[in-house]
Structure formats: structure tokens, C-alpha cells
Amino acid sequence: MTDVTAAPAGLQHDLGWTLGVVFRAYLKSATAVTVGLPGGHRGYQVLAAAARSAPASQSALAQQLGIDRTVMTYLLDDLERTELVERRPAPTDRRTRHVVATTRGRGLLDDLAARLAQAEAHVLAGLPDSDQQTFKALLQRLAGYANDLDPVSDACAIVQDINAATSP
């Protein structure tokens, strides 16, 4: 009895399934490669963003990363405790905190980036190099567009469909 997972019938072309498979594969590798780093692969994303520029605010960063601002608080607590990142009061608005990488954080970033690149390569390894480039380019364009997408509008009728047939 082999353990090899084939695509379920009828789902090979489903965006949800294909995206899910690839995303989970990435998560698995990214997690394996960031053990010990507070926040795992997301701790890396915060650190990377904080190292290249000081994000405008915690909640702005949270939104960019697709997580809740309350989760960001805990994440930053952990990253600050390990001295990889600092919260700095914004000079212009005393409510806001800038997130900046410490020297230590920046020092760790290169190694981390290399590890994540390894995870990335691992996930993309099924494609020849030129196709990897194409895929990444398209995905990046999509991400730039999709981050501010509202869910599709029309979304009410199915409840009736199901309940209608359930009763008698």
C-alpha cells in the first residue's frame, strides 16, 4: 500500500486545491527551516520587513502580512524578547510604534533568507528553471493585485438551495 497522494478526481484543475497543495508544501518547508525563530515563517516576514524599512505602524504591517493586529502584538513581543526587533515610538504620532530590526536581527536575516530560499527552491523543484521564473513573476503580479481584493459580491443564494432540499 503506497503512500503516494494523487490528485482527487475532478480537482486537478481547481485553483483552491492546487493553491492549497502548494501553499501547504511551502508552509511545511518554511516551518522546518525556521524552527527556533519566534513566530516561525511569519517571524521571518516581520523581520524582513523591519530590516529593509521601518514599517509605518504595527497594524499596517499586520495588514500587509495578512494577520490580525492583536496577533502582531504577540509576535512582536516574542521577536523583541529575543532582541531581533525593536518597537520605536513614532515621532509624529505618539500612539504609533515603528518596527525596526536590531543589529542582531539584521545579522540573522541573511542566514534566514538563505534558508527560506532553500525552502522555496524545494517547493518549486518540480518545475524547470525558466518555468519557475515565469511562475514567480505571475504570482507576484497577482499578489500585488490581490492583496486589496474584496470577496466576490454575490453570495446569498446557496443557503436557500440547500435548505430548500433539506426540509422535505
Partner DNA sequence: TATTGTTATACTCTATAACTATA
Partner DNA sequence: TATAGTTATAGAGTATAACAATA
Site string for a copy of itself, 136-155 (x = CB under 8 A): x-xxxxxxxxxxxx-xx-xx
Return d(Cα 59, Cα 67) in angstroms, integer. Answer: 9
Asked if 168 is part of the footprint of a copy of itself (rule: CB under 8 A), the reply reads no
Three-state DSSP at 116 gives helix
DSSP states of 17-86 as a string?
HHHHHHHHHHHHHHHHHTTTSTTHHHHHHHHHHHHHS--S-HHHHHHHHT--HHHHHHHHHHHHHTTSEE
Binding residue for DNA, selected from 15, 95, 111, 154, defined by CB under 7 A: 95
Query: Which of 163, 135, 145, 99 lies closest to 22, judged by CA?
Result: 135
Asked if 69 is part of the footprint of DNA (rule: CB under 7 A), the reply reads yes
Asked if 102 is part of the footprint of DNA (rule: CB under 7 A), the reply reads no
The nearer residue to a copy of itself, 6 or 94, going by C-beta atoms, is 6
- Give the total residue count for the chain: 168
Asked if 72 is part of the footprint of DNA (rule: CB under 7 A), the reply reads yes
The nearer residue to DNA, 94 or 129, going by C-beta atoms, is 94
Among a copy of itself, DNA, none, the one that 52 touches (CB under a kind-dependent 5 to 8 A) is a copy of itself
Q: State the residues that interact with DNA by CB under 7 A.
A: 1, 40, 57-60, 67-74, 76-77, 87, 93-97
